[in-house]
Amino acid sequence: MGKQEDFVLRALEERDVRFVRLWFTDVLGFLKSVAVAPAELEGAFSEGIGFDGSAIEGFARVYEADMLAKPDPSTFQILPWRGEGPSTARMFCDIVMPDGSPSYADPRYVLKRTLSKAAEKGFTFYTHPEIEFYLFKDTPQPGADPIPVDRSGYFDHTAQSMGADFRREAITMLESMGISVEFSHHEGGPGQQEIDLRYADALSTADNIMTFRTVIREVALSQGIWATFMPKPFTTHPGSGMHTHVSLFEGDSNAFFEAGAEYQLSRTGRQFIAGVLRHAPEITTVTNQWVNSYKRLIGGGEAPSYVCWGHNNRSAMIRVPMYKPNKGQSTRIELRTLDAACNPYLAYAVVLAAGMKGIEEDYELPREAEDDVWSLSERERKSLGIDPLPRSLHDAIGIAENSELLAETLGEHVFDFFLRNKRAEWDEYRGQVSVFERDRMLPVI
Ligand code: GLN
Ligand code: MG
Ligand code: MG
Ligand code: MG
């Protein structure tokens, strides 16, 4: 038993922990949880806790269903919303096969594998997500329009605001679980909020995002409201993105930083951007995985629809932020495609893989987009070499199917399952007769 495991076993007694929830994430990004008694933990650390992998979305074929969840002791935290003494704790798990090898279906493993490939080249991947979500007055009712908790907008400061009270309670809870929050504010849509987590290595960030979603939902329920990370709940209001600022470090130094270079962006930084741009259409089905995701990327609402980059250009897919003249170690790029309903492990894995490809194969960075790309004509965009992002889940799947980068990064099993699942989602969707069609057609034809 290692030091961290000992620490956890001691904490169980000191904090009077009665239940330990073992958390892991399915291929679509939903959190799974099994509660174990503290007495089971020694065994869980050495061998794992068995479960039926074939009952988890994307995990296993029925004939190889036995899998084990092995808790990662470095992720031990008390769950604040379950109260203290007796209390409930949680740890994230790695999923292993009965022979002890990592499960090819575990999204956390997909990310770990991609991170270690980058580590072989000397790089650590850091991410800082800006997570947007809506708050509604009630639990969702089928067929009914959701009612936002307020009518405020971007950065609004509102007296006795539900959003501000909500953010304060949620942030206090996140901080008590070791998740640092940097900024929070009201976003553009009514009832829409944003909370930005402090940068951390991508594995910790992905774990933190899973915790974040849980905390936000718990706090909302405790206040009698409903939180959603749905990418585009309204036709006429902005969607919820998960812009992510990313950087690569070599030891203690930021590999994207070069003093004196344009935007202080190193050659490595430029190659990384070039990689993410070139492979963007292939990985969009992972960074934007739902039918609904593409309604956010329609143009406007500050969500990207074209493959391009710019410094301080909020219509671009990648932005090089220029807030501070001497960015130094904080040099980073902002990816604006990701939405708040992606699987963070898979999304960060494919983004890193695309960026690394740019570095390994020395991709040339295209010219930056200086204009508002939405205001250009189709022709102007073409002449500037600015391609559209996939316009629907269907388009995104079609491009993804032929992507070697995606197959290699996700691994064959996750790649196949994911595309099969997404095709099924599209097929179900395309047969739906919508309110839009009825309202347009019934009166006239
Ligand atoms: N909500 C926008 C999106 O979906 C972002 C708005 C912003 O952060 N400026 O990407
Ligand atoms: Mg922001
Ligand atoms: Mg925002
Ligand atoms: Mg942003």
- Distance (angstroms) between ligand 4 centre and the Cα of 171 equals 19
- In Å, what is the CA distance from 180 to each residue of 171, 208, 336? 8, 9, 21
Predicted local confidence at residue 60, as pLDDT: 75
Q: Which one of the ligands is nearest to 317 CA?
A: 1
pLDDT digits (tens, 9 = 90+) for 82-129: 888 799 999 999 999 999 999 999 999 999 999 999 999 999 999 999
Give nearest CA residue, ligand 1 atom 6.
302
**Ligand 1 nearest atom to the CA of residue 303, by list position:** 10
Chain-centroid distance, C-alpha 105: 18
The CA–CA distances, whole Å, from 25 to 126, 147, 346 equal 20, 30, 10
Residues with CB under 6 A from ligand 1: 132, 188, 238-241, 296, 301-303, 336
Nearest atom within ligand 1 for CA of residue 314: 9
The conformation of residue 371, written as its DSSP 8-state character, comes to: S
Exposure string over 419-441, b if 16+ CB within 10 A, otherwise e: beebeebbeeeeeeeeeeeeeee
- Provide the pLDDT for residue 345: 98
Nearest ligand atom owner, CA of 245: 4
Residue 154 Cα to ligand 2 midpoint, Å, equals 10
CA of 187 to the centre of ligand 3 (A): 6
For the CA of 196, the nearest ligand? 2
pLDDT higher than threshold 90 for residue 192: yes
* The pLDDT of residue 62: 61
Ligand 2 center–CA 194 separation, angstroms: 7
Atom of ligand 1 nearest to the CA of 296: 4
Report the separation in Å between the CA atom of 126 and the middle of ligand 3, taken as the mean of its atom positions: 19
Q: Check whether 160 has a pLDDT greater than 80.
A: no
Residue-level pLDDT at 376: 85
C-alpha 92 – ligand 1 centre gap (Å): 29
Block residue for tokens 């889940």: 393
38 or 325, greater pLDDT: 38
Residues tagged in the binding site annotation: 130, 132, 182, 187, 194, 243, 245-247, 296, 302, 314, 334, 336
The Å distance, Cα 86 to ligand 3 centre, comes to: 38
Map out the domains of the chain as residue ranges: 3-102, 113-437
- Give the closest residue to 201 by CA, choosing from 268, 235, 266, 246: 246
For residue 269, give the nearest of 245, 291, 252 by alpha carbon. Answer: 245
Residue 69 pLDDT > 70: yes
Closest atom of ligand 1 relative to the 231 alpha carbon: 4
Binding residues for ATP are 182, 245-247, 314
Q: Whose CA is nearest to atom 5 of ligand 1?
A: 302
Residue 156's pLDDT is what?
77
The residue to which tokens 């194969």 are assigned: 361
* pLDDT value at residue 280: 98
Residue to mutate (ligand 1; options 184, 302, 338; most atoms within 8 A of CB):
302
Q: What is the arithmetic mean of pLDDT over 295-324?
A: 88
Ion ligand 3, residues whose Cβ is below 5 A away: 194
336 CA to centre of ligand 3 in angstroms:
9
* CB contact set of 121 (below 8 Å; sequence gap of 6+): 356, 359, 360
Residue pair 302/319 in contact by the 8 Å Cβ criterion: no
Characterize the bridge pairing of strands 87-96 and 17-25.
parallel
Task: Tell me the average pLDDT of the chain.
Answer: 93
Q: How far apart are CA 359 and CA 270, in angstroms?
A: 8
**Is pLDDT above 90 for 230?**
yes
Q: What b/e string do you get for 29-46 counting C-beta neighbours within 10 Å, with b at 16 or more?
A: bebbeeebebeebeebbe
Strands in 326-391 per DSSP E: 333-335, 387-388
- Which of 131, 243, 284, 298 has most ligand 1 atoms within 8 Å of CB, for mutation? 243
* Segment among 62-71, 177-186, 283-292, 330-339 with least mean pLDDT: 62-71
Task: Supply the pLDDT for residue 159.
Answer: 66
**Among the bound ligands, the one closest to the CA of 241:** 1
Q: Which CATH class is domain 3-102?
A: alpha beta
Question: Of 150-159, 212-221, 238-247, 410-419, which gets the smallest average pLDDT?
Answer: 150-159
pLDDT cut 70: percent of the chain above it: 98
Phi, psi of 363 (to 5 degrees): -65, 145
Model-level pTM?
0.96
- Choice from 185, 336, 342 to test ligand 1 binding pocket (greatest atom count within 8 A of CB): 336
CATH number for the domain formed by residue range(s) 113-437? 3.30.590.10
Ligand number with the minimum distance to the CA of 333:
4
| pLDDT score of 13 | 94
Which residues are known binding-site members for L-glutamate?
A: 296, 302, 314, 336
